[in-house]
A and B are shown apart, each in its own frame.
Chain A
Amino acid sequence: MLMQLTISGISQGAIYALIALSLTVVYRSTTIVNFGHGDFVMAGAFLSYVLVVLLGVAFIPAAMLAVVAMFLLGLAFSRGLIRPIRGGPHIGFALMCISAGYVFRGIARIVWGREVLPMPRVFEIEPIFIGDLIITGDAVFIISITAIMLVVFFGVLALTDIGKMVQAVYQSARGAQLIGINVDRFNDFTWGIGAALGAIGGILIAPISLLHPDLGASFLIKGFAAMTLGGFGSLYGAVLGALILGLSEQYAGAYINSALIDITAYLVIVLVLFLRPHGLFGRKTVVKV
């Protein structure tokens, strides 16, 4: 049973990793935590549903289109709704993000009415049997896609010019500005990336869970817990934290009590912030006066 739970935990954790990563990408450059990110994830899933089911586009092109659309949406959001309120209270960003999420949710609810929609099975991947162990087609799909995405992401970050630019802004926004990087436009860009990554997460989860406008709410907290565990602002930490969270939920649910699955994320948050606030890889951001 342990191995089975581990596979399931990694599969869940992979989704959380995409969400935590997308949250971190935005946080690192803008110091804003997107409290409405769950709904961005949901929006990505719904866009792909519309393309696949209502417009008959094949899955892979539909998924790519949805990701691009969400990228543009993130860009527009940053440009149109975040930049204008930069002078206001920092807390205003949180509410702006939540409100944007509500708008997405509201549109989804109106357009899709009161139905809960099934996303058709995309690939029929046969499960792999290793002895007593079953690796389901879903798990194979999710883990492999996520792994590829992560490799591409970190590869671009470390090896390409654009990646170096991103690292520059992450390390010092002011320094980046000094050498001529347009930080404002860069921030728009990172919002786009964040939205796009979130959309990938949504598209991966859509065939498994069912599509309904409130899909995003639970994922937001998992993303936060993963970020907290890994250390706020650390990209690697977000991924690692997400995997650990996915595993913990499965283990706690099976070995202790299935009622715990729901609150494992919250317990993780509270414990980590009390015992080691900067998580596994975060920078020390404790303010002591």
Chain B
Amino acid sequence: MKTSLRMIAALIMAGLPVTAQEVPGVTDDSISIGVMGPFSGNASSYSKAQVGMMAYYDKVNAEGGVHGRKLVAIPEDTACDPSKGLAAAKKLIYQDKVFMLHGNSCSGVAVALRPMIEEAGLPWLVAHAVSDSITLPLARNIFHGLPTGSANGRAMAQFVLSKPDTTRVAIIEHSNDWAHSYSNPAREYLAENGVTPVAELTMERGQTDATAQVLKLREEKPDFIIAAIYEAETAIFLRDLDKYGMGDIPVMGTAGTDLENTLKRVGDFEAVKNYYVIHSYVDNLDGPKLQPVRDILAEYAPDEELSTFSFVSIGSAKALVAALEAAGPDLTREKLISAMESIENFETGVLSEPITWSATDHQGVKGSAVAGFVDGKPTVLRAWNTPY
């Protein structure tokens, strides 16, 4: 008797449609999204990316949300530390039971989280961290919504070689995963084009002086220097280059800095005029094409001082919202993943290249533009002396 009752119950349950309550993080009027970022600690300026995307969520919510559901961001601090990041991720997944994850600025943390998140299976859209090993090899639920280190590294090397008569290239970098995620693909690209670096130098985080490195470079006389170092160290390096009379050598930086901030830090245009950065956007940060984004940030994050980081995650946020719309009101994690994999040539209006995901490739953005000072103004460039 009991067995047959159980069987009837099971049959009934199997026949019922999946209700929203059974999908973690989804209710009738909300979708919870775990947003991890370095809100404290020495990488905390990177969390502008998370602030930017949460501002975008607020805008979407103000316009009614997605299929009547508001996007509820649950921020958690990783402090750019793998152990803390692990605790943050576990809290979001197992305690807060979020629907998905979107965010992360620190590659070191993201790489450490990958096995655990892959196992947990919920969708994870990486918005700022660039390391390729987060999405390679392919994991069903993990996506990159911005150019990765390899895309950026190759773009850097490509720009360097686009300057005529460039044969002597030097590389200076931090000895960490972030720097290598740029410099190794750059080296590959250079090698493919028959160029071997004439000097490979290290500058550690926290160093306040680059004299030794600059003097070594002075001996090697490079045509172009590739610098995979963070904001603070970049300012110091550029200043030291200028001090020792090498300010005419162009320097190619990463996506970890932007021209305006670097100029502000160095305080001297002469030292910065030959500095180029990866600029993954369609326009200058204060250019007309990015006005809509600036409006959103001004309205929903008014106290935030903008930098390049504030914009970088908006592209992935837009793509995510589009995928959530496409997945329909009967939202499940599976459906979202399928919807994301159907995104093709999605123009974000922010990133310089469109986003394309497929079932075999979750690295959505394959290229990047470069920005440099042209006539004293930051300008987006496609190649040496070639505006976008």
Bound complex: CA A77 to CA B264 (Å): 36
Bound complex: CA A208 to CA B266 (Å): 9
The answer to whether B48 and A118 touch across the interface, beta carbons within 8 angstroms, is: no
Bound complex: CA A8 to CA B211 (Å): 7
Q: List residues of A whose CB falls within 8 A of some B CB.
A: 1, 4-5, 8, 11-12, 109, 113-116, 118, 120-121, 127, 134, 136, 138, 205, 208-210, 212-214, 217-218, 249-250, 253-254, 257-259, 261-262
Given contacts A118-B264, A127-B243, is CB(A205)–CB(B208) below 8 Å? yes
Q: Shortest beta-carbon distance, B137 to chain A, in Å?
A: 31
The answer to whether B206 and A121 touch across the interface, beta carbons within 8 angstroms, is: no
CB closest residue in chain B, given A249: B212
CB closest residue in chain A, given B263: A118
The answer to whether A254 and B215 touch across the interface, beta carbons within 8 angstroms, is: yes
Bound complex: CA A267 to CA B314 (Å): 46
The answer to whether B235 and A210 touch across the interface, beta carbons within 8 angstroms, is: yes
Bound complex: CA A217 to CA B42 (Å): 11
The answer to whether A250 and B212 touch across the interface, beta carbons within 8 angstroms, is: yes
The answer to whether A115 and B215 touch across the interface, beta carbons within 8 angstroms, is: no
Interface 9-mer from B148-156, B197-205, B333-341, B346-354 = B197-205
The answer to whether A109 and B44 touch across the interface, beta carbons within 8 angstroms, is: yes
Chain B residues, CB < 8 A from A116: 45, 231-232, 265
What 1/0 mask marks residues of chain B from 227 to 265 whose CB sits below 8 Å from any chain A CB?
000011001100100011100000000000000000011
The answer to whether B208 and A209 touch across the interface, beta carbons within 8 angstroms, is: yes
The answer to whether B44 and A114 touch across the interface, beta carbons within 8 angstroms, is: yes
Q: Assess whether B305 is interfacial by the CB under 8 Å rule.
A: yes
Q: Assess whether B270 is interfacial by the CB under 8 Å rule.
A: no
The answer to whether A4 and B208 touch across the interface, beta carbons within 8 angstroms, is: no
The answer to whether B245 and A134 touch across the interface, beta carbons within 8 angstroms, is: yes
Q: Which of B38-61 contact A (CB under 8 A)?
A: 39-40, 42, 44-45, 47-48
Given contacts A114-B44, A115-B305, A214-B42, is CB(A261)–CB(B215) below 8 Å? no
Chain B residues, CB < 8 A from A134: 243-245
Q: Shortest beta-carbon distance, B202 to chain A, in Å?
A: 4
Q: Shortest beta-carbon distance, A58 to chain B, in Å?
A: 18
CB closest residue in chain B, given A210: B232
The 10 closest A-B pairs by CB, nearest first: A253-B212, A209-B208, A8-B211, A114-B44, A254-B212, A262-B204, A259-B202, A118-B265, A214-B42, A258-B202
Chain B residues, CB < 8 A from A138: 243
Bound complex: CA A258 to CA B211 (Å): 10
CB closest residue in chain B, given A136: B243
The answer to whether A1 and B267 touch across the interface, beta carbons within 8 angstroms, is: no
The number of chain B residues with a CB under 8 A from chain A is 37
Bound complex: CA A258 to CA B239 (Å): 18
Chain B residues, CB < 8 A from A259: 175, 202, 204
- Can you list 9 contacts pairing A with B, beta carbon distance less than 8 Å? A8-B212, A114-B48, A118-B266, A118-B267, A208-B208, A208-B236, A209-B232, A214-B42, A262-B204
Q: Assess whether B289 is interfacial by the CB under 8 Å rule.
A: no
A11-B209, A262-B204 given; 5 more Cβ-contact pairs under 8 Å: A5-B212, A109-B44, A118-B265, A138-B243, A258-B213
Q: Which of B156-214 contact A (CB under 8 A)?
A: 175, 201-204, 206-209, 211-213
Bound complex: CA A136 to CA B40 (Å): 35
Q: Shortest beta-carbon distance, A195 to chain B, in Å?
A: 21
The answer to whether A258 and B212 touch across the interface, beta carbons within 8 angstroms, is: yes
Chain A residues, CB < 8 A from B91: none
The answer to whether B40 and A109 touch across the interface, beta carbons within 8 angstroms, is: yes
Q: Assess whether B377 is interfacial by the CB under 8 Å rule.
A: no
Q: Assess whether B219 is interfacial by the CB under 8 Å rule.
A: yes
Chain B residues, CB < 8 A from A118: 235, 264-267
Q: Shortest beta-carbon distance, A9 to chain B, in Å?
A: 8
Chain A residues, CB < 8 A from B45: 114-116
Bound complex: CA A91 to CA B202 (Å): 37
Chain A residues, CB < 8 A from B201: 258
CB closest residue in chain B, given A214: B42
Q: Shortest beta-carbon distance, B150 to chain A, in Å?
A: 24
Chain B residues, CB < 8 A from A249: 212
Q: Shortest beta-carbon distance, B18 to chain A, in Å?
A: 41
The answer to whether B236 and A261 touch across the interface, beta carbons within 8 angstroms, is: no
Chain A residues, CB < 8 A from B218: 1
The answer to whether B264 and A1 touch across the interface, beta carbons within 8 angstroms, is: no
Bound complex: CA A262 to CA B206 (Å): 9
The answer to whether A253 and B213 touch across the interface, beta carbons within 8 angstroms, is: yes
Bound complex: CA A114 to CA B232 (Å): 13
Bound complex: CA A121 to CA B269 (Å): 13
